[in-house]
Amino acid sequence: MKSRTLISIVAFVLAFSIGVAFAPKNQPSKWRFEKNCYDYYQPSQITTLLEKDIENGRIRNDRLKEVLNSQDSVESRKNIARITKEYVEASRSISTEDLPPSFVKAWEKHLRAWEKYADYLNELSATQEDVDAKANQLRNEINETWMKVLKVAKRYNAEIPQNAY
């Protein structure tokens, strides 16, 4: 009877060991869904992206002030379009790797809104004096998409920089 028990224990241990060796590892998936929040990444990655974008915007605004104070209206319009396009390119170069898909989607939509505005500024006629309804509509779209970016960032517990608003 002792040998039968011993053989049973050895068989169990052997079968268990083989099962563990060949079973797929129970690793968490890359994106684990939990209360509308992906916890694979650190929320600080989103905060870092927001801070970089805000810094790009500050640089854009400083350059715009210089242009508006130093050039005639026709030349300044061309430069405003160029500076806005450069802002978009700088912000587009910020890495979104390992960020949640819903945040990246909101971010891309925001950058597309900026691109449409930059393209519009580039197409403005040299004789146009006042900002028209189209420009206001495009700026509203930029603001709406930015608020969506911040809303999604909050869902992922990212810290929103104070100067984000």
Q: Residue 75 pLDDT more than 60?
A: yes
Q: How far is the C-alpha of 156 from the C-alpha of 37, rounded, in Å?
A: 5
End-to-end alpha-carbon separation of the chain, Å?
A: 78
- For the entire predicted model, the pTM comes to 0.71
Residue 40 reports pLDDT greater than 60: no
For the domain bounded by 31-164, which CATH number is listed? Answer: 1.20.120
The domains of the chain are located at 31-164
Kindly compute the dihedral angle of the four CA atoms of residues 40, 41, 43, 47, in this order, to the nearest 10 degrees: -150
Amino acid identity at 117: Y
Of 152, 53, 54, nearest to 100 by C-alpha is 152
Q: Tell me how far apart the alpha carbons of residues 124 and 156 are, in angstroms, rounded to a whole number.
A: 39
